[in-house]
Chain A
Amino acid sequence: KNEVEQSPQNLTAQEGEFITINCSYSVGISALHWLQQHPGGGIVSLFMLSSGKKKHGRLIATINIQEKHSSLHITASHPRDSAVYICAVQIQGAQKLVFGQGTRLTINP
């Protein structure tokens, strides 16, 4: 079983819809990252969380440490949000990231 599981693996939605991507992990962590990867490969770090909730523009990330679960929400989705979203956890006591398999999001106009 992978230490980090994301769902769904693929998500297609219409422009304007509210999007939720989930990440569950099975290990103790010190932080969780949400990353965005566009075609071509470059990765942008969206959020780094260790507790609670963070918001940046139309993006919201939440984490529940007790339930070992995090969600990434996109409000008023737009075709430019189409990308692969990756959850990564910083394992407690270790110095490396472990990644989920990614969620491919497609927003149709």
Chain B
Amino acid sequence: KAGVTQTPRYLIKTRGQQVTLSCSPISGHRSVSWYQQTPGQGLQFLFEYFSETQRNKGNFPGRFSGRQFSNSRSEMNVSTLELGDSALYLCASSWAPRRYNSPLHFGNGTRLTVT
């Protein structure tokens, strides 16, 4: 069974631009959650989607948004990029929403550099 796939692996953008990251979950998994990892703040929850609906959102500005498609693939978008958005963005999939405590499967992440 293929694992969680994130594309692209690396991305370099300029301040003010926008970026879209993609996450394909494990086949059969319907929940996708997104996380940001920086050296200063560590890992932080961004949002979770289940059955195309956002179930929860972390404490991030509205520039960070996401969506989930009917095939459970998810995208996250960051608009008006700032230098502080440089981070490793990870997604994780599971068969059920987080409140059911189902095991998580992480992708390898997308490393975003904003210059």
Contact = CB atoms under 8 A, between A and B. Distances in A.
A27 B38 CA distance: 24
Contacts of A99: 42-44
Contacts of A30: 99, 101
Contacts, number: 58
A43 B4 CA distance: 11
A26 B63 CA distance: 31
B106 A95 contact: no
Interface residues of A, number: 24
Question: Chain A at the B interface: mostly helix, strand, loop or mixed?
Answer: strand
Nearest to A43: B106
B103 A44 contact: no
A31 B101 contact: yes
B45 A44 contact: no
B109 interface: yes
B103 A45 contact: yes
